[in-house]
Structure 1
Amino acid sequence: MKAYPTAAEYLRHHRPERPVLALRPHALARAADWFVANFPGRVLYATKANDAPPVLAALAEAGIRAFDVASLPEMERVRQVADAELYYMNPIKSRSAIARAYGDFGVRCFAFDSHDELEKILAETNGADDLTLFLRIACPNTHSLIPLEGKYGASAEEAPALLLRARQRATRLGITFHVGSQAVVPAAFGEALTQVGQLIVSSGVLVDAVDIGGGFPARYPHSEPPGLDCYMEEIVRAADALAVKHSCELLCEPGRALVADAEAVIVRVDARRGNALYINDGAFGALFDAAFSGFRFPVRCVTPGREDLGPADRRSRFYGPPADIADYLPGPFVLPERIGEGDYLEIGQVGAYGRVLANRFNGFGAFDEIVLRDEPMLSMFGERQRDDGEDARSIRL
């Protein structure tokens, strides 16, 4: 991909017909550096958030050495760019996928949340004696903008027997959970870790690892969470209270927080009707979350020569290109009054889930791709973050 200083500089030389995904690798590196230095344990990247090869390669180069994968295609993508450890953390898997993960991709870490799934893993790995097994437990998602509870997770009643059975077969045993996507309250992790501590005591089963999952937030116009240092303080406080703190490894699976601000999409305005702008990407492209999850994204005009369009005070809504009323992005997206047909807009914070949720509905969904060297419109890794020089990578519970 060719690199440009800014989106406007790219547009001085091109008038793209298709929307353009603009990657900022330096933002990826900065986020990865922060997590590796500040999380008190091992950082896994949640590949589902963005599995583009340049993204995976940039994260690996920045020090991410483990990846949370949910499918064989994700394993194949990671293996193309990184010699990393793979964690198969999808709690329900097909038998053939388990066998291939173990035999072809060297996966030794598997999640489960039921007796059936545990026995399936044991059977399809031929009773292997080198497995790390993580019991996924259910936990409340009350502090997240996108709750993920209900689909996976063993209940408090089921968990003790599952831990005991897995302890008999696993080389290493862990517990994992997920507090929901875009967790906006740091206490979400503390409450879940307290639940883990109670389970360890009540079951009488020692564990070797606790994986706190994902849920770390990014910044959006509608969501300004506390700095990530606040999350780390809460995690360290709650983890320190675990009975197994001296012998237990801590892991996390950030996705959104690592990649959200590293990618933007440049779109063209094809029509304007009042406060409605019709653009060439939308709900079935990189802007899924704006249509179906109620997200607002930062937006600015990047048309060369139209930098001075007045104050950004018009509350606009967007429609995407397919002929379907579901392709509606209510926003509001705040732009200058004079935005109109032919203008190009940069829409930020689409690095998480934008690319992977795009499809080819109505024949749309193809993107050009470039690299940008300037800063994203929003970031969790600016002056709001504490940088006291402490490297917590080697800290264990």
Structure 2
Amino acid sequence: MDVFTSASELLRHHRPERPVLALRPHAAQRAAKWFLANFPGRVLYAAKANDAPQIIEALAEAGITAFDVASLVEIQRMAAVKDAELYFMNPVSRGAAISRAYREFGVRRFAFDSADELDKVIEETDGADDLTLFLRIACPNTHSLIPLEGKFGASQAEAPELLLKARQRATRLGITFHVGSQAVVPAAFGEAIRQVGQLIVSSGVLVDAIDIGGGFPSRYPHSERPIWRASWTRWCVPRTNWRSTLASLLCEPGRALVAEAESVIVRVDARRDNALYLNDGAFGTLFDAAYSGFRFPARLVTPSRGRTAPEAEFVLYGPTCDSSDYLPGPFMLPASVTEGDYLEIGQIGAYGRVLANRFNGFGVFDEVVLTDEPMLSMYESAEDETSQAAWPARA
């Protein structure tokens, strides 16, 4: 894969016809090192966020070799990583997938959220005595920009009986939850962990692990910069809750590890007033901008064009003939931007490439590696913060 110092350097050599996915593996590696240095437990990468081989390799080189996987395809991909440790955390799975995961890929860690799903795991593994089972419980998603509640999770009424039943079959027993994607308020995790503590007390069942799931945020123009120092860590993992259970901790970051690690370079195919028509959009890497209200950072990267022009607000349209291929933004760009210009849109490393499809025949991308810094970052001073982090120390 070709390597360039920046999007501008790429454009000095090429005028690409297709959108270009620009990977920054060094950004993923830096984020991974931050989590490994500051989280007091096992860090699993949520493989659904980005499956680019260069990104997975960067995370593994940083030390993340444990993965939250949700399908056989993800299991097959992540199993190729040396010393991979796979957690099948989809609480509703086909029996055949569970069986193959256990027998062909050595998966021993499974999630469930109902008696039927627990029975399925036990049946498909022939009552194995080497299972780690995680009960997924429902929790409020009131502090996340993309709520994920409703589909999965045992209720507080159902959970005690499920814990007791799983305790009788599991070598190790855990509880897991998900506070929603892009959870920018640290208290979201604290509230869920307090709920876990109450469940442990009410059920009388001791657990070996607490998986606080994903939802760790990244940085976007529409979202306040997430707090990663004392206030975040004080609320995210309260000392009095998890230490009293003697349980080990796990987390499943996806967005926070890879959002900065990829951008997309697009061409402006037309301009109508403050609307720009691009060769990528909602059915490509920019799904979250159309359907989740995200405002990605954007900049003009055509060499020698409009760098000193005042900025204006723009809306964007993708290349398909579907009118929902619309990105309301607003996106701040030089007022002089015009047809034939190229833009770089950042922070699409989380879910951008994996949600892109071939609707209307679009969705084909070139790929390059860029060595410059992401357009926005939470980790500019990650090395300086490591020794000052406020995660609770291990007991």
Q: Could you state the TM-score of these two structures normalised by the residue count of structure 1?
A: 0.96
d(CA) in 2 for partners of 1:260, 1:16: 23
SS in 2 for 1:234: helix
Identity %: 70
Q: For 2:242 and 2:220, how far apart are their aligned partners in 1?
A: 33
Counterpart of 2:343 in structure 1 is 345
Equivalent-residue separation in structure 1 for 2:355 and 2:318 (angstroms)? 15
Residue 323 of structure 2 corresponds to 325
Say which of 378, 381, 387 aligns to 2:385: 387
Q: In the superposition, relative to structure 1, how do residues 100 and 355 fare at CA in structure 2: closer, same or farther (>3 Å)?
A: same
Residues 367 and 325 of structure 1: is their aligned pair in 2 closer, same or farther, counting only changes over 3 Å? same
How far apart are residue 235 of structure 1 and its match? Answer: 2.6
SS of residue paired to 2:83: coil
C-alpha spacing 1:243/1:64, structure 2 compared with 1 (3 Å): closer
Say if 1:289 and 1:295, in contact at 8 Å, map to a contact too. Answer: yes
Partner residue, 2:302 = 303
Cα deviation per residue 1:314-344 (whole Å; 9 max; x = unaligned)?
Answer: 1000000011101000100011110000100
Hey, what does 1:336 align to over in structure 2? 334
Distance in 1, Cα, partners of 2:107 & 2:180 = 25
Is 1:104 matched up with 2:104?
A: yes
Relative distance call for 1:293 and 1:58 in structure 2 (3 A) is same
Query: Aligned pair count?
Result: 394
Q: d(CA) in 1 for partners of 2:381 and 2:355? A: 31
**Which amino acid in the other structure matches residue 253 of structure 1?**
E
- Distance in 2, matches of 1:65 and 1:168, equals 29
**Corresponding residue of 1:138:** 138
Q: Distance in 1 between matches of 2:136 and 2:387?
A: 34
Residues 65 and 81 of structure 2 are in contact (CA less than 8 Å); yes or no, is this contact kept in structure 1?
A: no
Query: Does the residue aligned with 2:344 lie in a helix, a strand or coil?
Result: strand
The whole-number CA distance in structure 2 between the counterparts of 1:80 and 1:304 is: 40
Q: Specify the SS of the correspondent of 1:16.
A: coil
SS of the residue corresponding to residue 168 of structure 2 reads helix
Q: What's the CA shift for 1:41?
A: 0.6
CA distance in 2, matches of 1:101, 1:126: 13
Structure 2 counterpart of 1:32: 32
C-alpha offsets along residues 290-323 of structure 1, whole Å, 9 cap, x if unaligned? Answer: 00111000000010121524122x1000000011
Provide the C-alpha distance between the structure 2 equivalents of 1:71 and 1:298, rounded to a whole number of angstroms: 32
Alignment deviations for residues 329-373 of structure 1 (CA, whole Å, 9 cap, x no partner): 010001111000010000000000000000000000000000000
What does 1:150-169 correspond to in 2, within 5 Å? 150-169=150-169
Any residues of structure 2 matched to 1:273-288 within 5 Å, and which?
273-288=272-287
Does the 8 Å CA contact 2:146/2:292 hold for their aligned counterparts? yes
Residue in 1 aligned with 2:263? 264
Question: For residues 260-303 of structure 1, what are the alpha-carbon distances to aligned partners after superposition, in whole Å with 9 as ceiling and x for unaligned?
Answer: 01100000000000000000000000000000111000000010
- Residue in structure 2 matched with residue 56 of structure 1 by the alignment: 56
Distance across 1 between alignment mates of 2:24 and 2:52: 13
Match of 2:292 in 1: 293
**8 Å contact kept, 1:37–1:390:** no
3-state SS of paired residue (1:241): helix
Aligned residue type for 2:79: R
Q: Structure 1 unaligned runs (5+)?
A: none
How far apart are 1:388 and its partner, in Å?
4.8
- Indicate how the Cα distance of structure 1 residues 288 and 160 shifts in structure 2: closer, same or farther if over 3 A, else same: same
Q: What is the rounded CA distance, in whole Å, between the counterparts of 2:249 and 2:390 in structure 1?
A: 12
User: For the Cα contact (< 8 Å) 2:234–2:391, is it kept in 1?
Assistant: no
Q: 1:323 to 1:336 in 2, by over 3 A?
A: same
Give the 5 Å matches for 1:1-397.
1-229=1-229, 230-236=231-237, 238-242=238-242, 244-245=244-245, 247-306=246-305, 308-312=307-311, 314-383=312-381, 387-389=385-387, 396=394
What is the SS of the residue equivalent to 1:228?
Answer: coil
Task: Give the Cα separation in 2 of the matches to 1:333 and 1:379.
Answer: 18
Query: Is the contact between residue 298 and residue 378 of structure 1 (CA under 8 Å) also seen in structure 2?
Result: yes
Higher mean displacement: 29-38 or 45-54: 45-54
Root-mean-square deviation (CA, aligned residues, Å) is 1.7
* Counterpart contact for 1:22–1:266, Cα < 8 Å: yes
Q: Match of 1:175, SS?
A: strand
Deviation at 1:55, TM superposition (A): 1.1
**CA contact 1:137–1:177 (8 Å) conserved in 2:** yes
Change (3 A) 1:201 1:264: same
Over 3 Å counting, the alpha-carbon distance change for 1:180 and 1:393 in structure 2 is closer
CA pair 182-223 structure 1, distance change in 2 beyond 3 A: same
State the distance in 2 between where 1:23 and 1:306 align.
24
Q: Which amino acid aligns with 1:376?
A: P
Query: 1: CA distance between counterparts of 2:3 and 2:141?
Result: 40
